[in-house]
């Protein structure tokens, strides 16, 4: 994709959830993330839920939102715990909740458990935040990816998302296309995991992604390759 294809390059920052999810992230690193998001006009910063209050304070008046991950990165905690974390993050000001689905339950074919796990989070933040469901596509075959998309939509999620960045593989153009085709126009697609440069970002958008999760947002909008992965 290029400017000549009709994509307005000046809108690229609004696609980006500027991300820092590492265990060793310090307050200084989180504040740097917020400063970059404010400076470049990214859609949001994406952080672990414990950093939401700091981000809300740092981004006050900027228009940059805060996304919080829950049940991260495994998705295997109790649904009640996942829903509680989501509710607390939303109370602290997070506008987006990026939850990891029950991957093991999906692999076992337990559709009801997967659906109700997602629904618990959706209901916990209803009217306060939108919910993105992380599929961890590197663990799934094509049929399982389609099933996960269907269950996420049935449970009321607003986005389906490729990867945590901590599991096997990351976002691919093929997966974004599959996920876009597997949900209705009411559900959007977020590409995350390995989106490190401008070419990759534009390829994901062309495939159907309306949000990009990346720690390389500055490099992407500068049009150069980033060295830090998500």
Annotated catalytic residues are 98, 161, 190
Q: Which of 157, 160, 154 is nearest to 176 (CA)?
A: 160
CB 68 within 8 A of CB 40: no
Element holding 96 (H helix, E strand): strand 96-100
Decide if 68 contacts 50 (C-beta within 8 A): no
d(CA 104, CA 171): 20
Helix (H) or strand (E) holding 161: strand 159-161
Q: Under 8 Å CB-to-CB from 28, ≥6 apart: which residues?
A: none
Calculate the dihedral angle through the C-alpha atoms of 179, 212, 205, 37, rounding to the nearest 10 degrees.
160
Contacts of 23 (CB under 8 A, 6+ apart): none
**What does the alpha-carbon distance between residue 72 and residue 166 come to, in Å, rounded to a whole number?**
9
């Amino acid at each position: 994709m290029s400017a000549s294809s009709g994509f307005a390059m000046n809108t690229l920052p609004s696609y980006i959830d500027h991300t820092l999810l590492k265990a060793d992230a310090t307050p200084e690193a989180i504040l740097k993330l917020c400063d970059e998001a404010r400076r470049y006009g990214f859609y949001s910063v994406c952080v672990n839920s414990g950093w939401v209050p700091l981000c809300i304070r740092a981004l006050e008046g900027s228009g940059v939102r805060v996304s919080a991950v829950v049940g991260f990165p495994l998705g295997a905690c109790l649904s009640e715990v996942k829903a509680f974390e989501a509710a607390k993050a939303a109370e602290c000001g997070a506008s987006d909740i990026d939850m990891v689905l029950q991957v093991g339950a999906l692999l076992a074919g337990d559709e009801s458990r997967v659906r109700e796990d997602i629904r618990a989070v959706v209901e916990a933040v209803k009217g306060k935040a939108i919910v993105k469901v992380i599929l961890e596509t590197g663990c799934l075959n094509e049929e399982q990816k389609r099933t996960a998309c269907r269950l996420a939509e049935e449970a009321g999620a607003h986005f389906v998302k490729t990867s945590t960045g901590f599991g096997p593989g990351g976002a691919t153009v093929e997966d974004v296309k599959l996920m876009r085709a597997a949900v209705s126009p009411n559900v959007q697609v977020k590409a995350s995991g390995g989106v490190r440069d401008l070419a990759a970002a534009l390829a994901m958008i062309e495939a159907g992604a309306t949000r990009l999760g990346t720690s390389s947002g500055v490099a992407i909008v500068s049009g150069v390759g980033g060295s830090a992965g998500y």
